[in-house]
Structure 1
């Protein structure tokens, strides 16, 4: 069987060294759409090294290609990459991410869930520097055709949006070349750059990285609800619910409630098709 859940969970943890500095942070922020109003004080906290803070979603690219923790190259897992979709992403912050850092990432398969027609592989990464833990990340990979092995389906994290009107709705335009800029932070999948590859995969043109949408949405929450202070974010979870095309406008609805905000992100240009769902940010 392509997936042996017991072997995957029992496999030794993988360790990688992550290093980054202000140039990596600046590039990431530009890749998720910061700096559109280039001289705005609110944007300079993302684009000018003398005022720089780190948006917590940077954790998904810290160290470039090393941030993926080796992907699914794990004993007990042998699957066709074409059947794999990034399903969910979660980050829990233990303290603010520094502008310059060197840390050790330890990644293991936390669980393999059985969703019937698919398996979901949950990769958990713990990241710490010499001063202690920095963040914990979980990435869930949905693998088509690999379910039905009798395992647990795991918790149901689906969240209906509140029945009331959102407390805030903001639109964020993206650039036609947004994916080309974002990919410089380490994800060079041709699906996001090569039109022929995208068409072969069933898309009319290259699509935006899901993790680019993930960062864009968190920035909108920080700017709208947290007065632009990224250090107040404590955790961020989202499910990738649909594609987004570079050049489209992201519509971000927010329902705030006592230190947490539920978010729904949609493609405003395509009848509000869902992009990120079951999305929650917690904050101080």
Structure 2
């Protein structure tokens, strides 16, 4: 990786308009509405009572797969999502014009043959300049260790509580879940092309990390917000293991004072933790 070129890469403002169709498609991609006769679940996919999932903020005003640009020298085939965090200033509209501004905030070199972490920040605004929210992403560049450090590392997510969870909720994922989710803007072939997946060390395409993250968001809204998505104001988590489309994802959660929530996500079939160190804030 050519660090100087990465950190000096210009990021033009990304102006985009998302529609109610985009809001519905995103929700379907993260497994919403497994029971089309459940009116509360229809809130995510039906225009009659539509609401936007807060994690939709992570895919709005997407800059494209810029990490694949040859001049940056990143071994993008070995790139995986490491952590994600968003915070919202207000509930997301179901459709609107948004402006996204990006910057690389830090690179942490874990050592040769150990990879590197890259921290990227996105701020979202409405077209009139009003703040909508902020999104922080951490990427694990498995093939780019030894590149050197730059900037500042991201926030430290707290460890998951060492006690039995207060509750849990299961979300089955379709075998074609990754193919649906990628239509929300992340076209990394790792999640669709079996050949690319094998080059990255997987025997088949894996689910997007942000899709698993969206499943956790949906699950928390369903379990703790009575399907009122406007109450979930912030959420962060660390990706720990890949997920394969068709698995059942179980979100375990611990509730605390003042709307503080901790959570993690497991693959039920493999009994492994796939999302850990989860934190969220829920408004009353």
Q: How high is the TM-score relative to the length of structure 1? A: 0.89
Q: Which residue of 2 aligns with 1:269?
A: 269
Task: Flag structure 1 segments of 5+ consecutive residues without an equivalent.
Answer: none
Q: Are 2:119 and 1:122 equivalent residues in the alignment?
A: yes
What CA distance in whole angstroms lies between the structure 2 residues aligned with 1:30 and 1:182?
8
Cα deviation for residue 200 of structure 1 reads 3.2
Give yes or no for contact 2:174–2:245 (8 Å, CA) kept in 1. Answer: yes
Measured in 2, the distance between the counterparts of 1:151 and 1:48 equals: 45
Q: How many Å apart are 1:151 and its aligned residue?
A: 5.4
Question: Quick one: which of 49, 52, 67 aligns to 1:72?
Answer: 67
- Secondary structure, in 3 states, of the residue corresponding to 2:48? helix
Work out which of the residue numbers 91, 112, 125 in structure 1 matches 2:107.
112
Q: 1:43 pairs with 34, 41, 44, which one? A: 41
Question: How far, CA to CA, are the matches of 1:8 and 1:195 in structure 2?
Answer: 29
Give me the TM-score of the superposition, normalised by structure 2. 0.89
> For the residues of structure 1 that align with 2:193 and 2:69, how far apart are their CA atoms?
28
Aligned pairs for 1:147-166 (under 5 A) are 147=146, 149=148, 154=153, 157-166=156-165
Q: Is the 8 A contact 2:19 2:95 kept in 1?
A: yes
Distance 2:197 2:7 in 1: 33
SS in 2 for 1:41: coil
Contact 2:160 2:278 in 1 (8 A): no
Could you tell me how far 1:202 is from its partner in structure 2? 2.2
RMSD (Å), alpha carbons: 2.3
User: For the Cα contact (< 8 Å) 1:3–1:79, is it kept in 2?
Assistant: no
SS in structure 2 of the partner of residue 106 of structure 1: strand
Q: Can you list the C-alpha shifts for 1:121-161, whole angstroms capped at 9, x where unaligned?
A: 11111110116011111111122333463557836725332
Unaligned stretches of 5+ in structure 2?
none
| Pairing of 1:90-105 with structure 2 (within 5 A) | 90-105=85-100
Say how many residue pairs are matched: 278
Distance change in 2, residues 1:201/1:143 (3 Å):
closer
> Is the CA contact (8 Å cut-off) linking 1:240 and 1:275 kept in structure 2?
yes
Distance 2:188 2:9 in 1: 26
